[in-house]
Amino acid sequence: MEGKLIIFSAPSGSGKTTIVRHLLATNSNLGFSISACTRDRRGRAEQNGKDYYFLTPEDFKEKIDNDEFVEWEEVYVGAFYGTLKSEIERVWRSGKHVLFDVDVQGGLKLKKYYGDKALAVFVKVPDEETLQRRLLDRGTETEDSLSKRLFKVHFEMSFQDQFDVILVNDELESTLKKAQKLTDDFLQKDIIPTKATVV
Protein backbone atom coordinates (compact mmCIF):
# COMPACT_ATOMS: atom_id res chain seq x y z
CA MET A 1 0.00 0.00 0.00
CA GLU A 2 1.16 3.48 -0.77
CA GLY A 3 -0.40 5.41 2.07
CA LYS A 4 -0.76 9.02 3.06
CA LEU A 5 1.22 11.26 5.39
CA ILE A 6 0.07 13.46 8.26
CA ILE A 7 2.61 16.04 9.41
CA PHE A 8 2.49 17.87 12.74
CA SER A 9 4.94 20.75 13.11
CA ALA A 10 5.20 23.45 15.75
CA PRO A 11 7.49 25.71 17.69
CA SER A 12 8.86 24.12 20.86
CA GLY A 13 6.33 23.94 23.72
CA SER A 14 3.21 24.08 21.52
CA GLY A 15 2.11 20.52 22.36
CA LYS A 16 2.59 18.73 19.03
CA THR A 17 4.26 15.68 20.62
CA THR A 18 1.32 15.20 23.00
CA ILE A 19 -1.08 15.33 20.03
CA VAL A 20 0.99 12.87 17.98
CA ARG A 21 1.28 10.40 20.88
CA HIS A 22 -2.49 10.54 21.41
CA LEU A 23 -3.21 9.89 17.71
CA LEU A 24 -0.78 6.95 17.67
CA ALA A 25 -2.38 5.46 20.76
CA THR A 26 -5.92 5.73 19.38
CA ASN A 27 -5.50 5.03 15.64
CA SER A 28 -4.18 1.59 14.65
CA ASN A 29 -3.88 2.70 11.01
CA LEU A 30 -1.11 5.23 11.82
CA GLY A 31 2.60 4.50 12.07
CA PHE A 32 5.20 6.88 13.46
CA SER A 33 8.06 8.12 11.30
CA ILE A 34 11.28 7.79 13.29
CA SER A 35 13.72 10.59 12.52
CA ALA A 36 17.45 10.17 12.06
CA CYS A 37 19.81 12.41 14.04
CA THR A 38 23.45 12.86 14.95
CA ARG A 39 23.04 13.74 18.62
CA ASP A 40 23.84 11.41 21.51
CA ARG A 41 21.10 9.43 23.21
CA ARG A 42 19.59 11.06 26.28
CA GLY A 43 20.14 8.51 29.01
CA ARG A 44 19.17 4.85 28.81
CA ALA A 45 15.54 5.55 28.01
CA GLU A 46 16.16 6.44 24.36
CA GLN A 47 16.53 3.49 22.00
CA ASN A 48 17.99 3.35 18.52
CA GLY A 49 15.29 2.50 15.98
CA LYS A 50 12.50 3.40 18.41
CA ASP A 51 13.05 7.03 19.46
CA TYR A 52 15.52 7.98 16.72
CA TYR A 53 18.00 6.43 14.36
CA PHE A 54 21.23 7.61 15.97
CA LEU A 55 23.84 8.13 13.25
CA THR A 56 27.38 9.44 13.29
CA PRO A 57 27.85 12.73 11.38
CA GLU A 58 29.85 10.74 8.79
CA ASP A 59 27.01 8.23 8.26
CA PHE A 60 24.47 11.03 8.06
CA LYS A 61 26.50 12.93 5.44
CA GLU A 62 26.98 9.74 3.42
CA LYS A 63 23.19 9.22 3.36
CA ILE A 64 22.76 12.85 2.21
CA ASP A 65 25.21 12.19 -0.63
CA ASN A 66 23.29 9.01 -1.56
CA ASP A 67 19.97 10.94 -1.66
CA GLU A 68 18.48 8.75 1.09
CA PHE A 69 16.63 11.59 2.88
CA VAL A 70 13.28 13.15 1.99
CA GLU A 71 14.30 16.13 4.13
CA TRP A 72 17.17 16.98 6.43
CA GLU A 73 18.72 20.01 8.06
CA GLU A 74 21.54 21.08 10.28
CA VAL A 75 19.53 22.38 13.24
CA TYR A 76 22.59 23.55 15.14
CA VAL A 77 26.23 23.39 14.06
CA GLY A 78 27.08 19.70 13.70
CA ALA A 79 23.57 18.59 14.80
CA PHE A 80 21.73 17.00 11.87
CA TYR A 81 18.12 15.75 11.81
CA GLY A 82 16.24 14.22 8.90
CA THR A 83 13.62 11.81 7.52
CA LEU A 84 14.88 8.76 5.64
CA LYS A 85 12.95 7.66 2.55
CA SER A 86 13.33 4.07 3.78
CA GLU A 87 11.49 4.99 6.98
CA ILE A 88 8.39 6.13 5.10
CA GLU A 89 8.50 2.98 2.96
CA ARG A 90 8.78 0.89 6.16
CA VAL A 91 5.56 2.38 7.58
CA TRP A 92 3.70 2.03 4.27
CA ARG A 93 4.82 -1.60 3.93
CA SER A 94 3.26 -2.28 7.33
CA GLY A 95 -0.09 -1.15 5.86
CA LYS A 96 -0.26 2.14 7.78
CA HIS A 97 -0.28 5.85 7.02
CA VAL A 98 2.73 7.85 8.20
CA LEU A 99 2.49 10.25 11.15
CA PHE A 100 5.22 12.87 11.65
CA ASP A 101 6.34 14.97 14.61
CA VAL A 102 8.86 17.28 12.93
CA ASP A 103 10.09 20.83 13.14
CA VAL A 104 8.61 23.58 11.00
CA GLN A 105 11.21 23.54 8.21
CA GLY A 106 11.07 19.75 7.99
CA GLY A 107 7.27 19.80 7.83
CA LEU A 108 7.25 22.22 4.90
CA LYS A 109 9.83 20.16 3.01
CA LEU A 110 7.76 16.99 3.49
CA LYS A 111 4.60 18.76 2.29
CA LYS A 112 6.40 20.08 -0.79
CA TYR A 113 7.79 16.62 -1.60
CA TYR A 114 4.53 14.69 -1.19
CA GLY A 115 1.95 17.35 -2.16
CA ASP A 116 -1.69 16.23 -1.82
CA LYS A 117 -0.67 12.87 -0.32
CA ALA A 118 0.30 14.84 2.80
CA LEU A 119 -1.67 16.92 5.30
CA ALA A 120 0.52 19.54 6.99
CA VAL A 121 -0.68 20.82 10.38
CA PHE A 122 0.93 23.73 12.24
CA VAL A 123 0.25 23.60 16.00
CA LYS A 124 0.35 26.85 17.94
CA VAL A 125 -0.60 28.13 21.36
CA PRO A 126 -3.06 31.05 21.70
CA ASP A 127 -0.40 33.57 22.74
CA GLU A 128 3.26 33.96 23.63
CA GLU A 129 2.60 34.15 27.39
CA THR A 130 1.11 30.64 27.30
CA LEU A 131 4.12 29.33 25.39
CA GLN A 132 6.60 31.00 27.72
CA ARG A 133 4.80 29.50 30.74
CA ARG A 134 4.83 26.01 29.20
CA LEU A 135 8.55 26.22 28.46
CA LEU A 136 9.28 27.44 32.01
CA ASP A 137 7.08 24.67 33.49
CA ARG A 138 9.37 22.07 31.90
CA GLY A 139 12.08 23.25 34.29
CA THR A 140 14.79 22.72 31.68
CA GLU A 141 15.28 26.30 30.48
CA THR A 142 17.80 28.88 31.66
CA GLU A 143 17.10 32.55 30.99
CA ASP A 144 19.52 32.43 28.08
CA SER A 145 18.13 29.21 26.54
CA LEU A 146 14.56 30.52 26.97
CA SER A 147 15.49 33.70 25.13
CA LYS A 148 17.03 31.69 22.26
CA ARG A 149 14.02 29.40 22.11
CA LEU A 150 11.56 32.30 21.97
CA PHE A 151 13.58 33.93 19.18
CA LYS A 152 13.31 30.66 17.22
CA VAL A 153 9.57 30.51 17.97
CA HIS A 154 9.03 33.97 16.42
CA PHE A 155 10.93 32.83 13.32
CA GLU A 156 8.96 29.58 13.04
CA MET A 157 5.61 31.34 13.54
CA SER A 158 6.29 33.31 10.35
CA PHE A 159 5.81 30.08 8.33
CA GLN A 160 2.39 29.08 9.71
CA ASP A 161 0.48 30.38 6.68
CA GLN A 162 2.31 27.89 4.44
CA PHE A 163 0.67 24.91 6.21
CA ASP A 164 -2.70 23.41 5.28
CA VAL A 165 -4.10 23.86 8.78
CA ILE A 166 -3.26 25.99 11.82
CA LEU A 167 -4.40 24.07 14.90
CA VAL A 168 -4.70 26.34 17.94
CA ASN A 169 -3.89 24.31 21.06
CA ASP A 170 -5.72 26.27 23.75
CA GLU A 171 -7.54 23.45 25.58
CA LEU A 172 -6.01 19.98 25.20
CA GLU A 173 -9.15 17.82 25.10
CA SER A 174 -10.72 20.02 22.43
CA THR A 175 -7.42 20.12 20.48
CA LEU A 176 -7.17 16.30 20.48
CA LYS A 177 -10.74 16.05 19.08
CA LYS A 178 -9.90 18.56 16.34
CA ALA A 179 -6.70 16.66 15.49
CA GLN A 180 -8.71 13.41 15.23
CA LYS A 181 -11.29 15.03 12.94
CA LEU A 182 -8.57 16.44 10.66
CA THR A 183 -7.02 12.97 10.51
CA ASP A 184 -10.33 11.22 9.74
CA ASP A 185 -11.36 13.76 7.10
CA PHE A 186 -8.02 13.47 5.33
CA LEU A 187 -7.66 9.68 5.46
CA GLN A 188 -11.30 8.80 4.73
CA LYS A 189 -12.50 11.66 2.53
CA ASP A 190 -9.28 13.16 1.08
CA ILE A 191 -10.18 16.53 2.60
CA ILE A 192 -7.26 18.98 2.70
CA PRO A 193 -8.36 22.35 4.08
CA THR A 194 -7.63 25.50 2.11
CA LYS A 195 -4.16 26.79 3.00
CA ALA A 196 -3.80 28.13 6.54
CA THR A 197 -7.32 27.24 7.69
CA VAL A 198 -7.46 27.94 11.44
CA VAL A 199 -9.17 25.34 13.63
Domains of the chain with bracketed CATH:
5-198 (3.40.50.300)
Distance from the Cα of residue 21 to its chain's centroid: 11
Contact 168, 124 (CB under 8 A): yes
* C-beta atoms surrounding 176 within 10 Å: 17
Q: What amino acid occupies position 79?
A: A
State the pLDDT confidence band at 101, using cuts at 50, 70 and 90: very high
> Looking at 18-22, 72-76, 117-121, which range is the least confident one?
72-76
In percent, the amount of the chain with pLDDT more than 70 equals 99
Provide Rg for the chain, Cα atoms: 17
Residue 131 has pLDDT above 80, yes or no: no
Q: What amino acid occupies position 153?
A: V
